[in-house]
Amino acid sequence: MVFFSYIRMHKLLTLPKPSAKQTWQQLHGSSLMLAIVEYAKTYPGVYLCLAPDNQTALRLYDELPFFLDKDCSIESLFFPDWETLPYDTFSPHQDIISTRLTTLNRLQLAKNAIVITSVSTLMHRLCPPQFLTRFSCMLRLNQTLNIQDFRLNLTNAGYFHVENVLEHGEYALRGAIIDVFPMGSAYPFRIELFDDEIDSLRQFDPETQRTINKLQQINILPAREFPLDEAGIALFRQQYRTMFPGNPTQSVLYEAISQQQLPNGIEYYLPLFFEQTATLLDYLPPAATVYAIENIHDKSTQFWQEIMQRFEQKRYDITRPLLAPETLFLNSTELFTKLKHFNQIHVYAKNSVSKAYTCAIHEAPALPIEHKSSSPLKALKHYLTSTARSIIVVESIGRREVVSDLLKSHGIRVTFQDDWAACMRSESAINMVVGLLTWGFELVEPDIKVIVEAQLFKHHVTQSARFKQKAMNPDLVIRDLAELQLHAPVVHLQFGVGRYEGLQTIDNQGVANEFLILSYAGNDKIYVPVTALHQISRYTGSNSDHAP
């Protein structure tokens, strides 16, 4: 039997000392966030991770918490994209604005943080830091508060008055009670006054109206990325008339802002609300370090071309004149000129550069479970025979039970761990832990193999923590054919409870495809393509024998 000793966390990776510019490579799978976290522990500071696209940025943000210790002082921040196309006539969802404003606010005070965004998001011009300072407020218990003044402040900060608060950026008034759902808060706040003094501050569930927490103070950020007070509107009107010739009163957008209303797509006129805009880089301390992930230069050029194409397509609508691209965005030259003011670390998954620091990390192989084989887990078993410590990462507690039962049925026993740090302390050969990692990797020294579900299940798609579908519990979704038992009840997303009757190969116009057979009452059957396996979940009734 092989025994494993406690691994000192600071010796997981050997990385170069800080310098103005350096390159790391061979950061395979999900090891990039491990390297970034280890570096931030050794050299505390603010780090901006610049991903090549929005999908990669979200993936990295999902992976980041897995490597952070519970008592770690590193702040995890995400600056999301608006999720609109350049010059769109749609506005971002308020939850996105909430995350963006929260990150900007926290960055101004951050000492040890990792913030993740994409290169296209970084190219957007933003509100200047002083805007947040001016339109944010702190409320404390027993503080004097004038309801009418507070209501005006909320309106000027972009909050909407509603009957019942449900979403970020809304507030409601009922006598001496003020409900407000500020940006950056998971739940709305209820402010109760006694005369003009704050008597109670509570966080509550908007659906049940039940109190979640009693608070001593709350922080309220602006609801938009631009001001809607008299000064902000006056500046918008002035700059609109300067930018666009003709009669401004014929513009629906101009008239809406004049009346303190918000037309869709107003975000693409943000510079008109400010004397001078900023970028995300203006919120970073001078000593911050920027991680440039893969080839961000090509991605920035590609995004600039997209901006120019969208501008050319939409510029001829005289009822909605457009700001010039350089007014709204940084071009590639401006972007990389600004980046030169910060220490930079260029990182690559593969060995792409001759003069680069090569990390002691190996690429992890696919270990597919072959449901048709007499030994379905042969690849995994062979992989686990080495003296390396193995860590199997699954997406949720529900998935942990499913995967561990599957492994146990084939003679592989695992030890459950609470987190990454517990895996490092463990003396077990095979550990299992919950986390969101996209692909595994192999550390050379210490000898550790990280395995994720995507390596085991061919059709597996990692569920983002931010955008999990609500239609079906992800813990119950069937991820691989190996999880199915013949004649067992399952639930199809559209057709409901049926029984799995095996696989059948069907030839369609010369192309053979595998289908799952599900049987229903009256001998009805449906054929589900293997590629649609995600539409099937486990039956959770009390007794599977009595299932339909």
pLDDT tens per residue, range 325-356: 999 999 999 999 999 999 999 999 998 788 89
Distance separating alpha carbons of residues 157 and 377, to the nearest angstrom: 58
In this predicted model, which residue has the larger pLDDT, 548 or 60?
A: 60
Tell me what the mean pLDDT of segment 525-534 comes to.
81
Domains in the chain (CATH in brackets) are 21-124+279-347 (3.40.50.11180), 137-220 (3.30.2060.10), 362-456 (3.40.50.11140), 484-546 (2.40.10.170)
pLDDT at 480: 66
Q: Taking 60 as the threshold, does the pLDDT of residue 212 lie above it?
A: yes
pLDDT at 1: 40
DSSP bridge partners of 173: 178
- What tokens does 396 get? 């949720």
Residue 510 pLDDT grade (very low, low, confident, very high; cuts 50, 70, 90): low
- For residue 545, report the phi and psi dihedrals to the nearest 5 degrees: -65, -25
Q: Taking 50 as the threshold, does the pLDDT of residue 292 lie above it?
A: yes
Tell me what the mean pLDDT of segment 535-546 comes to.
69
Q: Taking 60 as the threshold, does the pLDDT of residue 4 lie above it?
A: no
pLDDT in tens, 100-120: 999 999 999 999 999 999 999
pLDDT at 2: 46
Contact in structure between 516 and 462 (CB atoms under 8 Å): no
pLDDT at 468: 44
In this predicted model, which residue has the larger pLDDT, 474 or 382?
A: 382
pLDDT at 495: 77
pTM: 0.83
Q: Where are the alpha helices (DSSP H) in 259-362?
A: 296-314, 325-328, 332-339
Distance separating alpha carbons of residues 180 and 170, to the nearest angstrom: 6
pLDDT at 476: 59
Distance separating alpha carbons of residues 284 and 281, to the nearest angstrom: 5
Q: Taking 90 as the threshold, does the pLDDT of residue 540 lie above it?
A: no
- What tokens does 44 get? 């505390």
pLDDT in tens, 46-64: 999 999 999 999 999 999 9
Residue 308 pLDDT grade (very low, low, confident, very high; cuts 50, 70, 90): very high
pLDDT at 445: 87
pLDDT in tens, 464-479: 665 444 444 555 567 6
In this predicted model, which residue has the larger pLDDT, 475 or 218?
A: 218
Q: Taking 50 as the threshold, does the pLDDT of residue 522 lie above it?
A: yes
pLDDT in tens, 143-167: 999 999 999 999 999 999 999 999 9
pLDDT at 116: 99
Q: Which of 495, 484, 499 is nearest to 535 (CA)?
A: 495
Tell me what the mean pLDDT of segment 424-445 comes to.
94
Could you tell me the CA-to-CA distances from 100 to 82, 97, 107 in Å, in that order?
A: 9, 5, 11
Average pLDDT, the chain: 90
Tell me what the mean pLDDT of segment 517-530 comes to.
85
Q: Taking 80 as the threshold, does the pLDDT of residue 411 lie above it?
A: yes
Tell me what the mean pLDDT of segment 17-39 comes to.
95
Residues 6+ apart with CB under 8 A from 87: 265, 268, 310, 311, 314, 322
pLDDT at 470: 40
Tell me what the mean pLDDT of segment 114-139 comes to.
96
Contact in structure between 191 and 200 (CB atoms under 8 Å): yes
Total residue count of the chain as it appears in this document: 548
In this predicted model, which residue has the larger pLDDT, 495 or 242?
A: 242
Q: Taking 90 as the threshold, does the pLDDT of residue 357 lie above it?
A: yes
